[in-house]
Amino acid sequence: MKKILFFAFVLLAVFAGVQEVRAGQPAPVLPTLTSEAYATMQKDEVYVVMFSAVYCGPCRVAKQELFPELMKKYQADKNVHFFVLDVDQDVPAPNGTYLKDVWSADGLPTFVVVYNDAVMYSKKGYSSKIKDDLKKALEAKINALK
């Protein structure tokens, strides 16, 4: 049974890698965040955070399709920051809390727009089918806050 599970895991990992190569583009390097790092950041700016995990397929797609487009659109705006927070590699804030718990990110991916430590927008899940609607919703909230 262990051999079967191991083989299935290897096949899944290879398939995921092939899918990323087929896209024809390397995965973009996106800024990462931890709960510990956020605790030291300025709070009167707009933060767009995608909670993610390595094993999350929709997260990989959003990192390839959605996040780079949004980052490019707001790259000149110094008050808007984009981050990916890997829930499996997160480091707690000094008070022991994790942003996923504070901001109720209990599904992957979860997109959160935060201003002054308050969640102003949150959306769980991602697929290419909802990309345009999600992008519009995120842009509307970012533009209203900046």
Domain covering 26-145 in this structure, CATH number: 3.40.30.10
Q: Supply 101's token pair.
A: 């718990």
Element (H, E) at 49: strand 46-52
Q: Give 13 or 138, the one with higher predicted confidence.
A: 138
pLDDT at residue 5 in the model: 36
Contact 54, 17 (CB under 8 A): no
Whether the pLDDT of residue 138 is over 70: the answer is: yes
pTM here?
0.82
Q: Please, how many CA atoms are within 13 Å of residue 142, restricted to the half-sphere of its CB?
A: 22
* Token representation of residue 121: 């927008």
Looking at per-residue pLDDT, the higher value among 21 and 103 belongs to: 103
Give the strands of the sheet with 110-115, arranged side by side: 80-86, 46-52, 110-115, 118-124
User: What are the extents of the domains in the chain?
Assistant: 26-145
Give the pLDDT band of residue 29 (cuts 50, 70, 90).
confident
Q: What is the pLDDT of residue 28?
A: 79
pLDDT score, position 25: 64
Query: Mean pLDDT in the chain?
Result: 87
Q: Rounded distance, CA 76 to CA 47, Å?
A: 15
46-101 residue pLDDT tens: 999 999 999 999 999 999 999 999 999 999 999 999 999 999 999 999 999 999 99
Q: Which residues contact 52 (CB under 8 A, 6 or more apart)?
A: 59, 62, 63, 84, 85, 86, 87, 108, 109
Which residues are 123's β-sheet partners?
111
Is the predicted pLDDT of residue 122 greater than 50, yes or no?
yes
Do the beta carbons of residue 139 and residue 82 sit within 8 Å? no
Mean pLDDT for the stretch of residues 20-39: 78
Instruction: Give residue 12's pLDDT band: very low, low, confident or very high (50, 70, 90).
Output: very low
- pLDDT bin (cut points 50, 70, 90) of residue 18 is very low
C-alpha to C-alpha distance for 81 and 99, rounded to whole angstroms: 16
